[in-house]
Amino acid sequence: MAEMDTSGGGGHKKGPGVKKAKKSSTRVDLTPMVDLGFLLITFFIFTTTMSQATAMKLFLPKDTDKPEEQNKAKESGALTLLLGKNHNVYYYEGTLDPSASNFKSSTMKQIRNEILTKKRSTNKDDLVIVIKPGSESTYKDVVDILDEMTINDISRYALVDISDVEGQLVSMSDANGAAGK
């Protein structure tokens, strides 16, 4: 560095003014570089989102008009779920009463209990869940309810269009629910 050679013209082997070559080590301290390396690794790991898109398989039934090709469902084993606005779910067992007395309401979070109750009380081979999304229901509701089928291990379920009567019931109940809040 900036040091004066104070040894004077001591008359060594080398002449005056010739500095002694200092043997400095060629080793560099790599600690900061290691720090930097691991810092970058942690940064990249934390900023990477593990966005592995998964896919849910869905098999659609073929539309058929012939009654002998249509799937039969026992009334006692059928549970129909109707999807309404704001994640409301309505359900009835068997067929819908003309007076709609067996038309009950629930929500997306509570529907699992209803499905399980039905599943426990019905013969495994008779159980069919019919899903009817209303025109106000969102795609998320549909995926959630299909997911619910997987979660509760329901083997037979169908995605069916909603009928006019049911659609009216759902929109009426949606309106009532909104007014009650």
Partner 1 sequence: MSRPKIARKSTSVDMTAMCDVAFLLLAFFILTTKFKAAENITVETPSSVSSKVAPEKDVTLVSVTKDGKVYISMDNEKVKEAVANDLNANNGAGLSPADIAAFKKANFFGTPISQLKSALQIPTDKLKADALPGIPAQDTAHNEMVPWMRAIVAAHASTGTKLNLLFKGDNLAKYPAFKNVITSFKKNDQFKFSMVTASEGIPEGTDLWRKIMSGQSTESTE
Least distance in Å: CB of 155 to partner 1?
6
Residue 161 makes contact with partner 1 by CB under 8 A: yes
By rule CB under 8 A, what string of x and - marks binding of each residue 82-121 to partner 1? -x----------------------------x---x--x--
Burial environment of residue 121 by CB neighbours within 10 A (0 to 12, 13 to 18, 19 or more): exposed
Cβ closest to partner 1, residue 151 vs residue 175: 151
* Of 105, 122, 152, 171, the one binding partner 1 by CB under 8 A: 152
Residue 140 makes contact with partner 1 by CB under 8 A: yes
Of 17-25, 57-65, 71-79, 98-106: span binding partner 1 (CB under 8 A): 57-65
Q: Are 84 and 170 in contact (CB under 8 A)?
A: yes
Least distance in Å: CB of 138 to partner 1?
5
Q: Six-digit token pair at 48?
A: 């990477």
Q: Are 178 and 136 in contact (CB under 8 A)?
A: no
Q: Are 119 and 147 in contact (CB under 8 A)?
A: no
* Of 139, 164, 180, 181, the one binding partner 1 by CB under 8 A: 139
The whole-angstrom separation of Cα 130 and Cα 81 is 6
Residue 56 makes contact with partner 1 by CB under 8 A: yes
Q: Six-digit token pair at 140?
A: 């998320």
Least distance in Å: CB of 13 to partner 1?
32
Least distance in Å: CB of 137 to partner 1?
5
With vertex at residue 68, the alpha carbon angle to CA 118 and CA 120, rounded to the nearest 5 degrees, is 10
Report CA-CA distances (Å) from 47 to 34, 35, 41, 141, 143: 20, 18, 10, 30, 28
Q: How many CB atoms lie under 10 A from the CB of residue 30? A: 10
Enumerate binding residues for partner 1 (CB under 8 A): 29-31, 33-34, 37-38, 40-41, 44-45, 48, 51-63, 83, 112, 116, 119, 133-144, 146-147, 150-153, 155, 161
